[in-house]
Amino acid sequence: MKRLLLVLALLVTMGCANQVRWAKARYNITMDEVVEQCVPAESYALPVFRTSFMAFRYSECLGVVDMFTVAWGEGDTEFEDKLTDVLMLEYLRLHNENNKDNQLGHVFITHDQDKEIGLNMKFWYFLDMAEQ
């Protein structure tokens, strides 16, 4: 019985991993392309723990229907990486609490950085959970 549950858990995990691989493979997004070709529908300045972040939400950007990004300056440590995830999750939590009929999920797309100017940006795709 334990083996059956373990196999079932592995199959469920593999199914989720395939969806993430699909999202990464489908969208080849760079920071430069987004800045040059897309206009954010929403933007927020987020000063957190002596670090300044900017969050942007895009509609129809480079083939992505609903994209969320977090940008920050110098510093590409695990701290900034995890903090951007927390900022995205908090945005999503607030959205889902205020929009009971429009629940969203997320898929990580990529992380891009420009070392010349010291800018980092992470990208997520928001999924309409009603369509899943």
Whole-model pTM: value is 0.76
- Per-residue model confidence as pLDDT tens digits over 14-35: 444 444 444 444 677 888 888 8
For 27-54, b where at least 16 C-beta lie within 10 A, e where not — what string?
bebebeebeeebebeeeeebeeeeeebb
Q: Where are the domains of the chain?
A: 2-131
42: confidence class by pLDDT, cuts 50, 70, 90:
very high
Rounded CA separation 74/55 (Å):
16
Side-chain-side CA neighbours of 130 within 13 Å: the count stands at 6
- Per-residue model confidence as pLDDT tens digits over 44-98: 998 887 778 899 999 988 888 899 999 998 776 788 888 899 999 999 999 999 9
Q: Strands 119-128 and 104-114: what pairing?
A: antiparallel
